Structure 1
Amino acid sequence: MSDKPLTDTQFSTLDLHPALLAGLEKAGFTRCTPIQAMTLPVALAGRDVAGQAQTGTGKTLAFLVAAIHRLLSRPALAERNPEDPRALILAPTRELAIQIHKDAMKFASDLGLKFALIYGGVDYDKQRAQLQSGADIIIATPGRLIDYVKQHKVVSLHACEMCILDEADRMFDLGFIKDLRFLLRRMPARTERQTLLFSATLSHRVLELAYEHMNEPEKLVVEAETITAARVRQKLYYPADEEKLPLLLGLLSRSEGARTMVFVNTKAFVERVARALEKAGYRVGVLSGDVPQKKRETLLKRFQQGQLEILVATDVAARGLHIDGVSHVYNYDLPFDAEDYVHRIGRTARLGAEGDAISFACERYAMSLPDIEAYIEQKIPSEPVTQELLTALPRPERVAPAEGEDESIGEIFKEAREQRAVDDAKRGGGRKRRRGGREGAGNAQRETQPQGERKPRPARPATNENPASTAEGQSAPRKRRRRRRKSGEGMAEVAAPATTAPAGLTRGKPTQPAQPEAKPSLLTRWVRGIKSLFSSGT
């Protein structure tokens, strides 16, 4: 089906379930990629796998084939209820979970297995109903799934005989490790289930997770020569901060018609860069945490269909998205993490094609460059920023989109803010809303009185235990705390009396009672005794 790096191993030689093999052939999958050829013989035998492979190497198909073959070939556990899942696939991001589900539907939609896609940002009740009706395979992000697991009547993992962890290193980066352990502890023991783990890097922390929750996993590593990044032409510029946007526009105008992704480090710059590109006449989509999930899916679909020329994104879109035909990737901001750099440029040069990755090492993010070059074990070729490149070439006139098809960046973010406000209102308002409400009420009360006119506070009676000060601008003293003092008869509780200042005088500190003479210390008494002995001897 693809010109992805393939081996001589064919799926037909792997003794797969006949229905699964027919689905693969119908979808055009005949030969294995290196990670598939390494993983499937081990996984199909029922053994655990810890695999290292970059995105774009075919690992998604590898673990999907292994999971589906197991469910079609083996009976479910005896203690399983009809609605309980038999396999669980966990992904760190919504986009990756959606992509895994889409890949599964290419060849497994007619195999009689029920799939459930569970992730945040969409209708909670609809997903709960989907789980309650039963699913053989759940594809989920950890956070949303835990919500349903804690509601024991929604889903139970006690009969889950297969667990797959995709992008395990990213799970750590996003802080999901506690969630992973929570879910793994609610599955059958590691000797009674099969676990497959895949990661871009098998770091110490990933291997620690593997050995803690897996049953003697076999470590499989795809050599660096076979990863997608080897076919990416990398280029580096050193612009000043104010030159980044003109340089981006200049370079884009010299690759007219290319499907392009632009990566930035913050959500604020997604909107800023997207607005500038839209103003320059480009059809632009955005992917960031500020954009609602449904809108992100719509924009991503339009980009895949070629209706949008450029997609501006944060690292939320850097992993797991299978977008065909992306020829150019721009790192408008160099990422802080070297692994994120590899995953960003991995959006191009997919399916065996070539691509261009262009990075801007500006004053703010150039500090990441040494770590990136050390990680990829090569120096990125650099080119000078010339005045010619800072000048965008004239663009040909584009056909105006049909009414209702083109949505401006301003409208997208306006809708996102309105949706966030609605969600906050449903949850009873966020922390800022509650604090703002109290402050707003106080401001409203203050605005009812003219500035400079204040009602005098009523004077407290002189017999009050803690009277207000009569001196202007001086606050009343705090109430004295009761404390224990040593007295001649032992420990007695003494309270400082609250005295009342004479009328017309400013109240000072309350008068303190006379302190009893302190009892001399043991050392003092000992020295005095020695002195008395010497004096009596003389």
Structure 2
Amino acid sequence: MVTHLSTTAFRNMGLHPDLLKALDSLGYQFATPIQAQALPLLLNSQDVAGQAQTGTGKTNAFLLAILNELLTLPEVEGREINEPRAFIIAPTRELVIQIFEDAKKLSKYTDLKMCVVFGGADYDKQRKAIEQGCDVLIGTAGRLIDYFKQRVYNFYALDCVVLDEADRMFDLGFINDIRYLFRKMPKPTERLNMLFSATLSHRVKELAYEHMNSPQHIHVEAEQVTADRVRQLLYYPANHEKLPLLVGLMQKYQPEKAMIFTNTRRQAEKVWLCLKGNDIKAGLLTGDVQQKRRIRLLEDLKQGKIEVLIATDVAARGLHIDGVTHVFNYDLPDDAEDYVHRIGRTARAGAEGDAISFAGEDNAFNLPAIERYIESAIPTADVSPDLLANIKPSASMERPAHRGGRGKGHHKNGPGKSNYRGKKPNQSSRSRGQSE
């Protein structure tokens, strides 16, 4: 994840005036490194396979490319309003929602219509949104395939395709769904293709060569995630000191937006109860929280209704929340890569942030692997008595009522319970060079 901007100004990249106006209103003047590398290629109709972590600005890179393409390229003759011109596939609902929100911001001075689809939400409402007009369709693979088979939309007018976090598609078992969708699209030479992944592994490269038109590979190093703008600090608390230390640090820093990571759901619930009992507005995000509840929790954090979100790694994958100032590793993760992922929730897009970790009795042995992975030692601080808050004893001993059953209960701020018509050929508005 980058911690700096390039010297390339958006105004010098040949973007459509409506996009420049939106960028100015958002305060974006200079491109991040991946934007500076990818956009000139994409604006020249060159397919791109990019290696980049979250927080590098890749979402705006492919959104700007898509929107510029749609604003400057004529539509397919006879296109109907439910035939999307751009198609974005992402692995998680949270990431899909974030892409949708970013797309709305960048397209606010245009007439382009964005649609978002994902499981666990109102089926008919999402369907009607597509039927009422859709230029850019963003979604998870399962719901996209469902609507395609139901002939809610088709690929007749498709100009641009994005596959985001391709490596996670493999990890989550979605790759057969992705291949299905690609096979239903126009030929790779008839569309602009973008693929982004944290790692360009052999299987990801194979996918790119199979479904893209001679993509140009670009790579943004991720090692800067632990440098410069992320201030790291490490404490060695005894187990009985962890909750008092956490509450004490929360009281000391009073972060506007914070995230706390634990290794297990049980620990996450324990931390949530403690913070709740000590008058800290906190939300709990674990793997069993229902989708509507997840969305509401993220909105509560964004709007300041809660100060901190407590999460496990599984639940937090794909989260993109602007303005997180502090990340607390209540438990050191078992996987060194998860440490990088966690602290990358702060210091996004050139901002600064703090990452504070506890090397407790149960997981301090994970520290050497983490420091080898980030190629540096994490600065340490003493657990001084003045940092340990006087917490209410009962706050850390309570158990959520639903834990006696199967997750049935609910707590406030806690866990919740191609259609081709035959009359049109499979063509697009471009002929994009030689075939592969």
Give the alignment's TM-score, normalised by structure 1: 0.67
Q: Point out the more displaced range, 252-261 or 225-234.
A: 225-234
State the partner residue of 2:219.
221
Paired with 2:11 and 2:279, the residues of 1 have a C-alpha distance of 50
State the partner residue of 1:69.
68
**What's the secondary structure of 1:411's corresponding residue?**
coil
Picking from 305, 308, 311, the partner of 2:306 is 308
* Residue 345 of structure 1: how far off its partner (Å): 0.5
Structure-to-structure mapping, 1:44-123, within 5 angstroms:
44-77=43-76, 80-123=79-122
Any gaps of 5 or more consecutive residues in structure 2?
393-408, 418-436
* Residue 66 of structure 1: how far off its partner (Å): 0.1
Structure-to-structure mapping, 1:524-535, within 5 angstroms:
none
Per-residue CA deviations over 1:46-90 (Å, capped at 9, x if unaligned) read 111111223222211111110011111112345854421111112
Q: Point out the more displaced range, 73-82 or 43-52.
A: 73-82
C-alpha distance 368-60 of structure 1, shift in aligned 2 (>3 A)? same
**What's the secondary structure of 2:411's corresponding residue?**
helix
Paired with 2:107 and 2:50, the residues of 1 have a C-alpha distance of 23
* Residue 363 of structure 1: how far off its partner (Å): 4.9
Q: Does the 8 A contact of 2:57 with 2:349 survive in 1?
A: no
Per-residue CA deviations over 1:463-513 (Å, capped at 9, x if unaligned) read xxxxxxxxxxxxxxxxxxxxxxxxxxxxxxxxxxxxxxxxxxxxxxxxxxx
Q: Does 1:410 align with 2:408?
A: no
Paired with 2:142 and 2:238, the residues of 1 have a C-alpha distance of 40
C-alpha distance 371-225 of structure 1, shift in aligned 2 (>3 A)? closer
C-alpha distance 222-51 of structure 1, shift in aligned 2 (>3 A)? same
**What's the secondary structure of 2:372's corresponding residue?**
helix
C-alpha distance 171-371 of structure 1, shift in aligned 2 (>3 A)? farther
Per-residue CA deviations over 1:253-291 (Å, capped at 9, x if unaligned) read 332345321012334433332111101221112233333
Q: Does the 8 A contact of 2:114 with 2:137 survive in 1?
A: yes
- Number of matched residues? 399
Q: Point out the more displaced range, 271-280 or 173-182.
A: 173-182
Structure-to-structure mapping, 1:385-400, within 5 angstroms:
385=383, 389=387, 391-392=388-389
Paired with 1:125 and 1:371, the residues of 2 have a C-alpha distance of 48
* Residue 44 of structure 1: how far off its partner (Å): 0.7
State the partner residue of 2:18.
19
Q: Which amino acid aligns with 2:311?
A: A
Per-residue CA deviations over 1:77-107 (Å, capped at 9, x if unaligned) read 4585442111111222222211111112123
Paired with 1:143 and 1:332, the residues of 2 have a C-alpha distance of 34
Q: Does the 8 A contact of 1:285 with 1:409 survive in 2?
A: no
C-alpha distance 143-374 of structure 1, shift in aligned 2 (>3 A)? farther
Picking from 165, 168, 171, the partner of 2:169 is 171
* Residue 246 of structure 1: how far off its partner (Å): 3.2
Paired with 2:330 and 2:317, the residues of 1 have a C-alpha distance of 14
Paired with 1:66 and 1:144, the residues of 2 have a C-alpha distance of 24
**What's the secondary structure of 1:185's corresponding residue?**
helix
Could you say which structure has the greater relative contact order, defined with CA pairs below 8 angstroms and 6 or more residues apart? 2
Paired with 1:344 and 1:87, the residues of 2 have a C-alpha distance of 31
C-alpha distance 381-21 of structure 1, shift in aligned 2 (>3 A)? closer
Paired with 1:27 and 1:274, the residues of 2 have a C-alpha distance of 34
State the partner residue of 2:147.
148
C-alpha distance 165-302 of structure 1, shift in aligned 2 (>3 A)? same
Q: Does the 8 A contact of 2:188 with 2:212 survive in 1?
A: yes
State the partner residue of 2:271.
273
State the identity %.
54
Paired with 1:278 and 1:158, the residues of 2 have a C-alpha distance of 52
Bigger radius of gyration? 1
Paired with 1:189 and 1:298, the residues of 2 have a C-alpha distance of 39
Structure-to-structure mapping, 1:416-427, within 5 angstroms:
416-417=416-417
State the partner residue of 1:377.
375
Paired with 1:144 and 1:332, the residues of 2 have a C-alpha distance of 35
Paired with 1:143 and 1:372, the residues of 2 have a C-alpha distance of 35
* Residue 351 of structure 1: how far off its partner (Å): 4.0
Q: Does the 8 A contact of 2:118 with 2:140 survive in 1?
A: yes
State the partner residue of 2:125.
126
Q: Which amino acid aligns with 1:310?
A: V
Paired with 1:371 and 1:171, the residues of 2 have a C-alpha distance of 26
Paired with 2:367 and 2:173, the residues of 1 have a C-alpha distance of 25
C-alpha distance 91-11 of structure 1, shift in aligned 2 (>3 A)? same
State the partner residue of 2:404.
none
State the partner residue of 2:4.
5
**What's the secondary structure of 1:269's corresponding residue?**
helix
Q: Does the 8 A contact of 1:274 with 1:409 survive in 2?
A: no
Q: Does the 8 A contact of 1:264 with 1:270 survive in 2?
A: yes
Q: Does the 8 A contact of 2:21 with 2:109 survive in 1?
A: no
Q: Which amino acid aligns with 2:203?
A: R
Structure-to-structure mapping, 1:202-213, within 5 angstroms:
202-213=200-211
**What's the secondary structure of 1:196's corresponding residue?**
strand
C-alpha distance 299-413 of structure 1, shift in aligned 2 (>3 A)? closer
* Residue 330 of structure 1: how far off its partner (Å): 0.9
State the partner residue of 1:253.
251
Q: Does the 8 A contact of 1:53 with 1:227 survive in 2?
A: no
State the partner residue of 2:355.
357
**What's the secondary structure of 1:38's corresponding residue?**
helix
Paired with 2:250 and 2:27, the residues of 1 have a C-alpha distance of 35
Give the alignment's TM-score, normalised by structure 2: 0.82
Paired with 1:264 and 1:158, the residues of 2 have a C-alpha distance of 46
Paired with 1:82 and 1:306, the residues of 2 have a C-alpha distance of 37
Paired with 1:94 and 1:383, the residues of 2 have a C-alpha distance of 38
Paired with 1:4 and 1:413, the residues of 2 have a C-alpha distance of 33
Structure-to-structure mapping, 1:305-344, within 5 angstroms:
305-315=303-313, 316-324=315-323, 326-344=324-342
C-alpha distance 28-384 of structure 1, shift in aligned 2 (>3 A)? closer
Q: Does the 8 A contact of 1:115 with 1:136 survive in 2?
A: yes
Paired with 2:226 and 2:66, the residues of 1 have a C-alpha distance of 25
Picking from 154, 176, 182, the partner of 2:180 is 182
Q: Does the 8 A contact of 1:229 with 1:345 survive in 2?
A: no
Q: Hey, which bits of structure 1, 4+ residues long, moved more than 6 A? A: none
Paired with 1:159 and 1:368, the residues of 2 have a C-alpha distance of 51
Paired with 1:340 and 1:156, the residues of 2 have a C-alpha distance of 38
